Amino acid sequence: MRQSLPDIALRVHVDVPPDLINQVASGMVDVAIMYAPQHRPGLKIHLLTEEKLVLVTTDPEGRFISDYVYTDWGPDFGLHHDMSLPHVAPDLSFDLGPLALSYLLTAGGSGYVRMSAVEPHIAEGRLHLVPEMPQFSYPVYAVHSANSDESVVGPALAGLHSISNNSSR
């Protein structure tokens, strides 16, 4: 964005999805990137990429160990998780993926995390994929107002799609 539209001011802001949706709907934010956005009239939602949530463990043998850390990846994940693993009860729960990953790396255990976030830790041997466990889709979306200035939003979306396509290779 900075290179292709140098006259546009950028502000990067992290917030919870309901607040981001409200900010997009009110025109305070042009584009928000999020997982599982709330559908509302007047908003356009574009799929950027599909992440995978995978079960990893600190056990060198790749076993699903009893110190299970559950991350709330949203209602879809919760539903699929409970259907696929009805007898798995978490020892600890988080509502922020990076915090859960940090905990796993520090204290050990098993948990579902984004594949893109754990690939370096798998390569280093700090984490291991648990074989034959379900993986879950975790799509990433860009959300903007249907009334957005297309001269700003169009290039932003093109850049986000380009980055998403390059990072998924």
Domains of the chain: 17-48+139-167 (3.40.190.10), 50-137 (3.40.190.10)
| pLDDT score, position 4 | 67
Of 169 and 19, more confident = 19
Tens of pLDDT along 59-107? Answer: 999 998 779 999 999 888 999 999 999 998 888 999 999 999 999 999 9
> Would you say 11 and 19 are in contact if contact means Cβ atoms under 8 Å apart?
no
Question: pTM score > 0.85 for this model?
Answer: no
| pLDDT score, position 118 | 97
Residue 149 C-beta-side C-alpha neighbours within 13 Å: 7
Q: Name the residue with tokens 């009110």.
A: 26
Q: How far apart are CA 150 and CA 14, in angstroms?
A: 23
How many other CB atoms are there within 10 angstroms of residue 42's CB atom?
Answer: 9
User: What are the beta bridge partners of residue 114?
Assistant: 53
Count of positions (residues) in the chain: 169
Structure tokens at 139: 């799509």
Q: How far apart are CA 135 and CA 7, in angstroms?
A: 42
Q: How far apart are CA 23 and CA 12, in angstroms?
A: 13
pLDDT at 169 over 60: no
pLDDT at 43 over 90: yes
Coil, helix or strand at residue 143: strand
| pLDDT score, position 83 | 95
What average pLDDT does the segment 142-168 reach?
Answer: 81
CA 86 to chain centre: 23
